[in-house]
């Protein structure tokens, strides 16, 4: 079983929609959970991070972590065409240096 | 806003040749990393570097790879004898703390390496 699984999409939504992006993982040692946004031919850019379980909100973005289900989510409210990008989940344990990435979900927000 | 700078943006090399990918991390960051992304696949960890030594490396990072921080500002990845399967986007990243949990990693825009 792969450590981090993420549906690659593509996901296409109309402008203003609520977007839900998800990842599942298998390693119960993961404690740090992050969402990165990657535009074409660019490096990943950190959007949100969460330590352990719970919710975190930042503007139109909400990150949720459910460690009991090994499931994390990113919600984007009032989606904009500028949100069109690939969204990567990433996670790590208390002891390692390496981020473990999902494959990324390609999101297209149409005007 | 501070940036991680990578050069070149694209490098084409012949199989068997040595390549050096260069990065200038953010100046006050302490942890440095190389990741790679083969087209259509996930971003994969190669190596982390802290306090002038490798702190962790993946199975991908074999004897053909090496890293160096020669002058306190640059951070390089050397591939001694490139193979076709080394073709990928290579990302340098840096962070203030381990894993970037306080402020996240900052990634560069990448070097696209094409081995022919």
Task: Convert the pLDDT of each residue in A43-64 to its tens digit.
Answer: 999 999 888 888 999 999 999 9
% of chain A beyond a pLDDT of 70: 98
SS3 B60: coil
CB spacing of A41 vs B50 below 8 angstroms: no
User: What distance in Å separates the CA atoms of residue A32 and residue B105, rounded to the nearest whole number?
Assistant: 13
pLDDT at position A85 is 97
B residues 31..70 contacting A (CB < 8 A) = 31, 33, 35, 41-45, 48, 50, 55-56, 58
> How far is residue B17 from each of residues A23, A83, B1, measured CA to CA in Å?
39, 40, 36
User: What distance in Å separates the CA atoms of residue A98 and residue B27, rounded to the nearest whole number?
Assistant: 21
Instruction: Name the residue among A42, A90, A96 with its Cβ closest to that of B109.
Output: A42
Report the length, in residues, of chain B: 116
pLDDT at position A27 is 92
CB spacing of B91 vs A99 below 8 angstroms: no
pLDDT at position A66 is 94
pLDDT, tens digit only, all 116 positions of chain B: 789 999 999 999 999 999 999 999 999 899 999 999 999 899 999 999 999 999 999 999 999 999 999 887 899 999 999 999 999 999 999 998 876 566 678 899 999 999 99
Instruction: Print burial letters for A14-30: b (CB count within 10 Å at least 16), e (below 16).
Output: eeeeebebbbbbeeeeb
- Per residue in B10-25, pLDDT tens? 999 999 999 999 999 9
User: What distance in Å separates the CA atoms of residue B21 and residue B12, rounded to the nearest whole number?
Assistant: 12
pLDDT at A96 over 90: no
Mean pLDDT over each residue of chain A, to the nearest integer:
92
pLDDT at A9 over 90: no
């Amino acid at each position: 079983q792969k450590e981090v699984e993420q549906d690659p999409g593509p996901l296409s939504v109309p402008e203003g929609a609520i977007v839900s992006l998800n990842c599942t993982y298998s390693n119960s040692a993961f404690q740090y959970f992050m969402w990165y946004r990657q535009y074409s031919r660019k490096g990943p850019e950190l959007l949100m991070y969460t330590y352990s379980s719970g919710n975190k909100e930042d503007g139109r973005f909400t990150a949720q972590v459910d460690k009991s289900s090994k499931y994390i989510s990113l919600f984007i409210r009032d989606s904009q065409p500028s949100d069109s990008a690939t969204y990567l989940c990433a996670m790590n344990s208390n002891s390692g240096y390496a981020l473990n990435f999902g494959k990324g979900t390609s999101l297209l927000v149409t005007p | 806003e501070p940036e991680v700078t990578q050069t070149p943006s694209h490098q084409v090399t012949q199989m068997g040749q040595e390549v050096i990918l260069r990065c200038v991390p953010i100046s006050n960051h302490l942890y440095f990393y190389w990741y790679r992304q083969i087209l259509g696949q996930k971003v994969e960890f190669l190596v982390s570097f802290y306090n002038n030594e490798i702190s962790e490396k993946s199975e991908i990072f074999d004897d053909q790879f090496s890293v160096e921080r020669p002058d306190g500002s640059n951070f390089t990845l050397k591939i001694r004898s490139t193979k076709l399967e080394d073709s990928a986007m290579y990302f340098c990243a840096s962070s203030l703390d381990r894993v970037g949990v306080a402020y996240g990693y900052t990634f560069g825009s990448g070097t696209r390496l094409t081995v022919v």
